[in-house]
A = this chain, B = another copy of it.
Amino acid sequence: MALSAPLRMRRGGSLTDVVLAYESWGQRAADGDNVIVLFTGLSPSAHAAASTADPTPGWWEYMVGEGRPLDTRRYQVICFNSLGSCFGSTGPASPRPDGGGPYAVDFPDLCVEDIAAAVRMGLEALGIPRVRALVGTSLGGMSALAFAALYPGFARELVVISAAAAALPSAIAIRSLQREVIRSDPAWQGGRYAPGPGPRDGMRIARKIGLMSYRSALEWEQRFGRERREPDAGEVPAFGIEFQVESYLDANARKFVDGFDANCYLYLSRAMDWFDLAEHGDGDLVGAIAAMALRRALVVGVETDFLFPPRQQVELATALRQAGVDTRLELLPSVQGHDAFLVDRPRFGALLRDFLAAGAGADAKGQRLATA
């Protein structure tokens, strides 16, 4: 969709002719109260699940669909590609409205709040004045928190998965290093690379650093041990790939590099470092949350998550409760680290199904009491 109004950016500047890519599944109820907005992590597109228009599996295929935890017979699920990304929404790789090539590093500073603001404008364009739930994973968890802070009362329920109110210094260090690797690649050319491959070496290495923070040591021990790669893969060049774990990382990183624009990566990555929910309460996290006027929240963390470790979800859930929000906190023993929500289907599927059902149950009870 094309937004009619300009988008004023949090750190200054504004964007005109903003385009947002989105997908939706399920039908909106007459009262419009069954909408779930899905906020994505740094790298996914709006294609969370298969649809008639695009029958390929989406990044959260097991979660969204008929009979699935976000049950599209019951809810309308809407997912936007984040502002600043490169899968159809306006970002650094998009052409400037005046026709002068891609924005590149002239794209205005991007904050998580800007991603939320774009979604708000997108929902307005769709005629949706309020929603049932905001659901976000990783960066998407931050985007959902930013949305709730900027638009109090817009949503009743909030689900934050493998995210936090602000990044830890260790997570900042990892992302800072990923950005440095990309910027150190001569092919980055100060951000002015020609449309096309761009800084592939830097992106490949940045992705590998990312993968090391997304998964867990324990998972790799179980999956790869000290196995060598397939012997038929040819001779090993000096200091080249020998172990299965190296092979896995390399294949994943090469696939990623083909799909993601380097400048978009830099902007989205930095936005995660900058985000600090407490800023919305002048430094007071509980105050920032109290102003959201939420009813219920689900906060999910994973014990093996190195990027957003469980103590951060404990901190967030504690603040939610102190702000009077009926909050469920779940710390899961999944071995897949930060990325567990993509792969640990039984645990995550059951949690979201239960949380939404309990909310619907509470509503029904409230209605019966009101009618009685």
Scoring A residues 172 to 200 as 1 if CB is less than 8 Å from chain B, else 0, what string do you get? 11101101110110100001000000000
Contact between A309 and B217, CB atoms less than 8 A apart: yes
- What size tier do the contact residues of chain A reach? 35 or more
Given contacts A105-B238, A186-B186, A249-B173, contact A180 B168 (CB under 8 A): no
User: Chain B residues near A273 (CB, 8 Å)?
Assistant: 242-243
Binary B-proximity of A156-174 (CB < 8 A = 1, otherwise 0)? 0000000000111111111
- Against B, the Cβ 8 Å flags (1 = close, 0 = not) of A207-232 are 01100100011001101111000000
CA gap between A221 and B179 in the complex, in Å:
21
Bound-complex Cα distance A200 to B63 (A): 46
A170 contacts across to B, CB distance below 8 A: 212, 216-217, 220-221, 245
1/0 per residue, CB under 8 A from B, across A97-109: the answer is: 0000000010000
- Which residues of A, 236-268, contact B by the 8 Å Cβ criterion? 238-239, 241-246, 249, 266
Q: A96 near B: Cβ within 8 Å?
A: no
Instruction: Among A170, A183, A186, A191, find the residue whose CB has the most chain B CB atoms closer than 10 A.
Output: A170
In the bound complex, do residue B212 and residue A246 qualify as a contact, i.e. CB atoms below 8 Å apart? no
Contact status B306-A183, CB under 8 Å: no
- Write the residues of chain A forming the contact surface with B, with a CB cutoff of 8 angstroms: 105, 166-174, 176-177, 179-181, 183-184, 186, 191, 201, 205, 208-209, 212, 216-217, 220-221, 223-226, 238-239, 241-246, 249, 266, 270, 273, 276, 306, 309
| Interface contacts beyond A169-B224, A173-B220, A176-B243: sample of 20 additional A-B pairs, CB < 8 Å, sorted by A | A168-B220, A169-B221, A170-B212, A170-B217, A171-B217, A172-B243, A173-B208, A173-B212, A174-B212, A176-B241, A176-B249, A177-B205, A177-B208, A179-B239, A180-B205, A180-B208, A181-B205, A184-B201, A217-B306, A243-B273
**A and B contact pairs by CB, cutoff 8 A, 6 listed:** A170-B220, A172-B226, A172-B245, A176-B243, A180-B205, A181-B181
